[in-house]
Structures are given as structure tokens and as C-alpha cells.
Amino acid sequence: MDALASLARDSELFGDAVRSAPPDARVPSCPDWTGADLLYHLAEVQDFWARVVGPAPGRGLDGDDVEPLARPSSDAELPALLQRSTSRLVAALTGRDPAEPCWSWHEEGRHVGWVLRRQAHEALIHRADAELTAGRDVTPADPDVAADGVDEVLSVMVDGVPGWGVFTPDGATVSVVVDGFGERPRSWELAFGRFTGTGPESGTAYDLDVAQLVDLPGSTTTQVAGPAWALDLWLWGRGTADGLIVEGDLALAERLRRVAAEGTQ
């Protein structure tokens, strides 16, 4: 997967789609947002990570030190703002060593390669948002990119328990399987349970329904299978389960979607 090419392509498709929609059009997949809000969001995110990565090794910022990108007073200025942010991010990531350290909100994401992957999928999913806002058909993603998107949702957004918390499995399991025509088969197994703990900095007590990646080949109780892009859109709440095949307990498939929503929205 060429993440940089994917990032550039989907940012361009995003811009084309969002410019074709009225600025006040509602985003079907994010109903609290207008098209202008969506445009500003991606511009802000890309500007943020461009500054975190920095123009050269060792010149990036800590996330807490990045000044928020100012939103223009006129929505007409937003397309140019996005173009500048995308150009800055692509320039920052071009030619960089993926292992080069940088700041990240994710404990395992403190390197440039993680940022590149995350921003490729950020552009991909928001490109789908923009096309839905414009009333267009959603452009298919490259199957390898989409399969990596499924992996990112499950391994970054869903999986993971901070050291101050505890995961207690409840016995329910599910597997997610990429098996679209011509696609390289891939699968992930997850166990459901509760995450409990108190954040050491915020003092907030948590008791959440979560899922964790586990090694349970062939022994999960429910399976959700389909083409990579359909699975990626479904996990992100940008597509229905119509193109997927659920074997076993439909309620567990719906539970996985709810858990994924907590990590992706």
C-alpha cells in the first residue's frame, strides 16, 4: 500500500466532492456537520499533523504545542485552506523515515509511519463523507488500502487497554473476515468485555463495553465477512451491513459496530 499516494488521491477527491455540495448541506454520516464543517475539519487535522511531523527530522511539535488552525470568516475561503493544509502535510511526509519519532496521542503511534497511515485513512473516510454530502456514489477504495483500513480500525481504534485500566472478557467473540472477490483473505478475532478504570489525570471513572484482539482462530461464535471496502465503511459507520455476510449472532455483529463507533466518532 502506497499510503502517501492514497493520502494525496483521497484528499483531491475529497476537495472535488465537497466543493460541489452547498456549504450548508448536511453530512449524512456526521449529521451534526455541514459540508463547510467537514471541509474545515480535514484542513485542521492535516495542518495539525503536518506541524507534528515537522518540515524536517527533529523539527516537529508536541501535539499540545500546535496552535489550532484558524477557521476563515467566509466559507468561500475553506477550499484554499484545505489545499494549503494538504500540500503542507504531503510535503512533511514525503521522503521521511517511517521509524522517525514524533508525537502521537496513541502509545504505539509515536513515529512518522503511524501518522502517514492514520492520515491516509482519515482522508479516505472523509472522502466518503464528502461524496455522500454531494449526493454522489462513493468511489471504491483500493482493496489493499481498504483492508489496511479494517486493520487500523480494529488494531488502533478498538483494541488496546491503557495500563491504568482492566479488560474483563465476558465470553462473547466475533471474527471479521476480508474475503471479497480477488482480495487477499485476512481475518481478525475479537473478544468482548468491560473496560474499567479511573484515568490518572482526569479522575474520570470508566466502565465501557469494549472489544480486544485475541488469537482465537476458528473458534469465534460469530463472523462478519465481506469485501474490504464494505467492511471498512461499515466499521466506520459510513455503510450498512447489506454487502456483508453475518454468520452466527447478528446482535454480536451490531455490538462490534457500536464498539467501533465509540472509537471512531
Question: Do 42 and 89 belong together in one domain?
Answer: yes
Q: What are the pLDDT digits (tens) for 196-249?
A: 999 998 899 999 999 999 987 667 789 999 999 999 999 999 999 988 999 999
Domain boundaries, position 18? 3-139
Question: HSE (CB half, 13 Å, CA atoms) of 233?
Answer: 24
- pLDDT above 90 (res 58): no
Q: Which amino acid is at 193?
A: G
Q: How confident is the prediction for the chain on average, in pLDDT?
A: 94
- Mean pLDDT over 131-156 rounds to 96
CATH code of 97's domain: 1.20.120.450
Domain end position, chosen among 139, 173, 203 = 139
Question: Do 109 and 185 belong together in one domain?
Answer: no
Whole-angstrom Cα distance, residue 30 to residue 211? Answer: 24
Question: What's residue 66's pLDDT?
Answer: 97
Q: What are the pLDDT digits (tens) for 88-137?
A: 999 999 999 999 999 999 988 999 999 999 999 999 999 999 999 999 99
Question: Do 134 and 152 belong together in one domain?
Answer: no
Whole-angstrom Cα distance, residue 77 to residue 75? Answer: 5
Question: What's residue 265's pLDDT?
Answer: 65
Whole-angstrom Cα distance, residue 93 to residue 91? Answer: 6
* Residue 61 CB-density burial (10 A; 0-12 exposed, 13-18 middle, 19+ buried): middle
By percentage, how much of the chain surpasses pLDDT 70?
A: 99
Question: Do 91 and 18 belong together in one domain?
Answer: yes
Question: Do 11 and 96 belong together in one domain?
Answer: yes
Question: Do 163 and 208 belong together in one domain?
Answer: yes
Q: What angle do CA 258, 263, 265 make, to 5 degrees?
A: 85
- Mean pLDDT over 168-194 rounds to 95
Question: Do 118 and 232 belong together in one domain?
Answer: no
- Mean pLDDT over 160-168 rounds to 91
Question: Do 132 and 63 belong together in one domain?
Answer: yes
Q: Are 188 and 196 in contact (CB under 8 A)?
A: no
Question: Do 124 and 16 belong together in one domain?
Answer: yes
Nearby residues of 122 by Cβ (< 8 Å), 6 or more positions away: 42, 45, 46
With CA atoms as reference, report the closest residue to 256 among 217, 218, 222, 215.
Answer: 222
- 7 vs 163, more confident: 7
- Mean pLDDT over 172-191 rounds to 95
127, 132, 136, 141: CA torsion to nearest 10: 40
In this prediction the pTM is: 0.94
Question: Do 183 and 220 belong together in one domain?
Answer: yes
Task: Please report which confidence band the pLDDT of residue 55 belongs to, taking 50, 70 and 90 as the band edges.
Answer: very high
Question: Do 116 and 169 belong together in one domain?
Answer: no
Question: What's residue 161's pLDDT?
Answer: 87
**Total structural domains within the chain:** 2
Question: What's residue 48's pLDDT?
Answer: 98
